[in-house]
Amino acid sequence: MVTKPTITRRILPYWAPKEGNYAIALQAQKEPVYGRLGIRTDNQQQWLNLDTFREIEPTIVANDNQTALWEVAEPDYVTLSDDTDVKIRQDSQNSLKVNLRLPGRSAYTFLERIYQPMEDWSQDLYLVFWFKGEGSDAGFQFSILFNDSYEDSAVFGWYDESKEWRRLVLPLAQPGGANGKVDWSKVWKIRLSTGKDTTGTFYLDHLSRYHNKEWINLAQSVHLPAGENSFTLNLEGKTEVNQLLIYPLNEGEGTIPIGNLFQVDDTQTASISYEKLSPTKYIVHISTSRPFWLTLSEVYNPLWKAIVAGEEIDSVPSYSFVNSFFLTKTGDYDVTIEFMGQRYVHYGGIISLIAFLGAIVGVILERKRERERERGSHRSQ
């Protein structure tokens, strides 16, 4: 039976400050499995295989010649060997074969590895390894200790559910239990332990750390009109888009390395000063040699407008909660930033006053007409 992969569809709005070509970069976060990700604008569709996000190889913790990498915490109960016959990958030399004998107590640690100096795993998302057991339903724990202390740890657990090889993916941000301070920048020791009744032969192979959180530029740029646009993301398989970055390209320009986008050129920064005329109106004095984003640290509201040479520029939400305006003009000039809602209040007050005065005038005229009618009736009598 052929089953269709699960596809999650999300629609994301984007306000383009000007018409032109835009590059799109994705920062995806996923379990290391296969799948695809698609992105669609008005009439363009691109698909990425999720293997693209493995551009940087995983950090190998233990793979070949594994007995040299581990210390046996309980040598009376544990025997290690490198097995060249039972292994998950043909390109591997061996797997780690672990023989456990019943120690007669509630639980025990059978393997550990100490990092000196301590390692930084703060950029990693998953610890991934292959495990082959006996289908005994025995419980195992993977403990990670931090900062040279037995009091600080994160613990992950699994069960021996099958005699076949299983790929286990441990999300580092979601341990099954934790003690003390979990500090992934100071990994000191990793330990494997099991329970009282565990005995038998078990295998471990290809223990790796995956960060899978890289910026990937889409190969093709998209042409967007100025103003509101929308992107449709089609996520196939187990993946999440952590961030979506859209940036304008100059004529003839290709995609830019993501790191370069966040570099600040001190020689190109704008000179800015401002005057606060009221809580709802500012005058900003600008001197700049290139277009830039001007941010107003007021809670985002689309009624905030920037006015440059009589042209209104809409506000765009920045950092999720403040107002930003994309200014394309260069040189020395002034910008008026104003909350248009205050104008509506002002205009509403004027309209209300006019309506009130109109009502008073109407009452006066009506009374005058009544008096004239009364006088006319007296004359006729």
Banded pLDDT at 74 (limits 50, 70, 90): confident
> 161-165, 334-338, 377-381: lowest mean pLDDT where?
377-381
Banded pLDDT at 258 (limits 50, 70, 90): low
Q: How far apart are CA 37 and CA 221, in angstroms?
A: 16
- Please state the three-class secondary structure of 195-214 as a single string: ECCCCEEEEEEEEEEECCCC
Question: Using an 8 Å Cβ cutoff, are 226 and 17 in contact?
Answer: yes
Q: How far apart are CA 94 and CA 280, in angstroms?
A: 70
The secondary element (H helix, E strand) that includes residue 324 is strand 322-327
Tell me the two tokens of residue 247: 């940036």
Mean of pLDDT values over 260-265 = 55
Question: Using an 8 Å Cβ cutoff, are 296 and 304 in contact?
Answer: yes
Asked if domains 8-56+216-250 and 64-210 share a fold, the reply is: yes
For residues 50 and 308, the model is more confident at 308
Neighbours of 232 (CB within 10 A): 14
pLDDT of residue 190 exceeding 90: yes
pLDDT > 70 in the chain, percent: 64
Question: Using an 8 Å Cβ cutoff, are 298 and 254 in contact?
Answer: no
pLDDT of residue 188 exceeding 90: yes
Distance of CA 219 to the CA centre of its chain: 21
Q: How far apart are CA 298 and CA 295, in angstroms?
A: 9
For residues 108 and 303, the model is more confident at 303
For residues 144 and 249, the model is more confident at 144
pLDDT of residue 57 exceeding 70: no
Tell me the two tokens of residue 340: 């248009």
Q: How far apart are CA 338 and CA 303, in angstroms?
A: 8
Banded pLDDT at 191 (limits 50, 70, 90): very high
Count the residues in the chain: 381
**CA distances (Å), origin 192, targets 39, 78, 116, 152, 279:** 42, 12, 18, 16, 61
For residues 18 and 273, the model is more confident at 273
**Mean per-residue pLDDT of the chain:** 75
pLDDT of residue 118 exceeding 90: yes
pLDDT of residue 379 exceeding 60: no
Banded pLDDT at 362 (limits 50, 70, 90): low
Residue-level pLDDT at 321: 63
DSSP helix/strand/coil, 334: strand
This prediction's pTM: 0.49
Q: Which CATH architecture best describes the domain 8-56+216-250?
A: Sandwich (2.60)
| DSSP calls for 228-259 | EEEEEEEEESSEEEEEEEEEE--TT-----HH
| DSSP calls for 66-81 | GGGT-EES-TTTEEEE
DSSP helix/strand/coil, 372: helix
The residues spanned by each domain of the chain are: 8-56+216-250, 64-210, 268-341
Topology of domain 268-341, CATH: Immunoglobulin-like (2.60.40)
| 25 Cβ contact list (under 8 Å, min separation 6) | 215, 216, 217, 218, 244, 245, 246, 247, 255, 258
Q: How far apart are CA 235 and CA 50, in angstroms?
A: 10
Residues 146-180: pLDDT tens digits? 999 999 999 998 889 889 888 888 888 888 888 89
DSSP helix/strand/coil, 345: helix
Topology of domain 64-210, CATH: Jelly Rolls (2.60.120)
Question: Using an 8 Å Cβ cutoff, are 235 and 26 in contact?
Answer: no
Tell me the two tokens of residue 221: 């740029």
> 109-118, 167-176, 367-376: lowest mean pLDDT where?
367-376
The residue type of 371 is R
> 249-258, 280-289, 293-302: lowest mean pLDDT where?
249-258
Nearest Cα to 344, choosing from 293, 300, 304? 304
Tell me the two tokens of residue 302: 């689309």
Banded pLDDT at 273 (limits 50, 70, 90): confident
List helix spans (H) across the chain.
258-261, 340-380
